Structure 1
Amino acid sequence: MVLEKIAVLKELTIFSVLLRTVLAMVFSGILGYEREKKGRPAGFRTYMVVCIGSEIAMMTGIFLSRELGSTDPSRIAAQVISGIGFLGAGTILVTRQNQVKGLTTAAGLWADACLGLALGSGFYSGAIVGFAAIWCSLKILSTVDKRLGKTARVFGVYVEFVSIKDLSAFLAYGRGHGCKMDGLEIVRSKDVDGNRVVGATMTLHFDTPVSHEKVIEEFGRLEGVQFIKEI
């Protein structure tokens, strides 16, 4: 790549440091903005700080290696990868319906840190191609994933019932219409009005692919079902 063929950009000069930092801010800012628009816990500023921090760590490792002559420049980079794991874990949430959220954001932070390390080491082509791939995965492929996932044979659902009898009727209705149910977990809670409800998470198995909307609509209109959503 042209950038990597320019000798001055391979050295740790004020110009190369500035270029790497600007690229880190631009790339991570774009990725973080995409996450922030979707209301994710780690957004624009978080992604930018993670990428810049990783870039600085990588450049520091290279600087110390050149100054001391014996230090492995990859040591600091390795610690960055480990540290990002703890940061990413903070974005993963498990709801009371046993729904896991934040996995994509955590993975994005990890990839964002790797992007910073690539820029910090002067691996411009890897950083640019990597940024394009990450952005496509978050922005473009999410649309493809939604279209491909319009129908499925297996659904995880969370349902709230008025009483345990309604749950039994729900299970009987599903089995009577060729739907196998497993992984049932029951929790007793209260709705927004303070009334006691019976909540249940379960997995529905169908013989043929069905649409998500049809499953929610058909099971949601059963008597005693107060709330239902896919998880």
Structure 2
Amino acid sequence: MEMLEMGIGYLKELNGLSITLRVLLAVVCGGVIGLERGRAHQPAGMRTYMLVCMGAAVVMATGHYMYDVFQTGDPARLGAQVISGIGFLGAGSIITSGQTKVRGLTTAAGLWTAACIGLAIGIGFYSAGILATLAVYLIMARFKKLEYKFLLEDVYCGVYVEFDGTVTISDIAQHMAGFGLEIEEVQMGKQGKEFRKAMITLKNKKEESRDTVIRQMEQIHGVRYAKYIF
């Protein structure tokens, strides 16, 4: 028990092993959160979250180092700037789709939280960083279905679609219009050799369930894959 406490105390100090652990742990925690965002086809994916979390950890460790070496200043000052400054990066992921639908709020909140996790890891508060990472992953990956189940369907909804050359956006629009769903916005993704990608914003006037919308989309000839993104 005493050896364990000594080991934990050693890792909370600034040394080569603790710095390596903090950087690697920040990369892993950021990657776990970013993995879910990447699966949801959000612009801020795994690498973005890794960099944000690691950068925050390095900033916090630098503040700790400056305080130890120069014996002056506040070790939390640099970290405070990260908390406020990360808002600019998060704001860049928020866009307005259609007339009233705002997208990217969860991504922005996730980036801010990833930075906070990085700060905790950077100062040596490993347990808080790991627990917060697990909590964020559960909220983003698992609570989404729970939210969809208990909340009313949104007027605007977004669908990620992969389709081949036998179908066009016009064909998809005509098919969905027959079920009271209007296409408000289309963002075309990278085109592969065998299929194309698009993020389609639909106006769900009849408040159809998300499962119903996806089923209707998948019934279109030429559509290979469809998934809700918001």
Is the structural similarity TM-score above 0.5?
yes
Counterpart of 2:108 in structure 1 is 106
Letter in 2 for 1:95: S
Distance 2:126 2:6 in 1: 7
Counterpart of 1:138 in structure 2 is 140
* SS of equivalent residue, structure 2 residue 155: strand
Distance 1:83 1:113 in 2: 10
Counterpart of 1:156 in structure 2 is 155
Q: How does 1:45-64 map to 2 (within 5 A)?
A: 45-64=47-66
Distance 1:190 1:92 in 2: 16
Q: Is the 8 A contact 1:4 1:10 kept in 2?
A: no
| Aligned partner (choices 68, 71, 76) of residue 69 of structure 1 | 71
| Aligned partner (choices 30, 33, 36) of residue 34 of structure 1 | 36
Distance 2:135 2:5 in 1: 19
* SS of equivalent residue, structure 1 residue 94: strand
Q: How many residues are paired up?
A: 169
Letter in 1 for 2:11: L
Counterpart of 2:220 in structure 1 is none
Distance 1:4 1:59 in 2: 20
**What displacement does 1:213 show?**
3.6
Runs ≥4 in structure 1, deviation > 3 angstroms? 2-5, 154-158, 210-214
Q: Is the 8 A contact 2:154 2:204 kept in 1?
A: yes
| Aligned partner (choices 110, 117, 120) of residue 118 of structure 1 | 120
Counterpart of 1:177 in structure 2 is none
Distance 2:40 2:209 in 1: 22
Letter in 2 for 1:125: S
Counterpart of 2:178 in structure 1 is none
Letter in 2 for 1:156: V
Q: Is the 8 A contact 1:35 1:44 kept in 2?
A: yes
1:190-224, Cα deviation, whole Å (9 max, x unpaired): 99xxxxxxxxxx998xxxxx96349x99xxxxxxx
Letter in 1 for 2:129: A
1:85 equivalent to 2:87? Answer yes
Distance 2:123 2:12 in 1: 8
Letter in 1 for 2:127: S
1:58-110, Cα deviation, whole Å (9 max, x unpaired): 00000011111121011100000111000000000012433100000000000
Q: Please, what TM-score do these two structures have when normalized by structure 2?
A: 0.65
Distance 1:156 1:190 in 2: 14
Distance 2:106 2:40 in 1: 12
1:212 equivalent to 2:208? Answer yes
Distance 2:54 2:147 in 1: 30
CA RMSD of aligned residues (A): 3.1
Identity among equivalent positions (%) equals 40
Gaps of 5+ in 2: 158-183, 187-202, 214-229
Structure whose residues are more often strand by fraction: 1
Counterpart of 1:18 in structure 2 is 20
Gaps of 5+ in 1: 159-188, 192-201, 205-209, 218-230
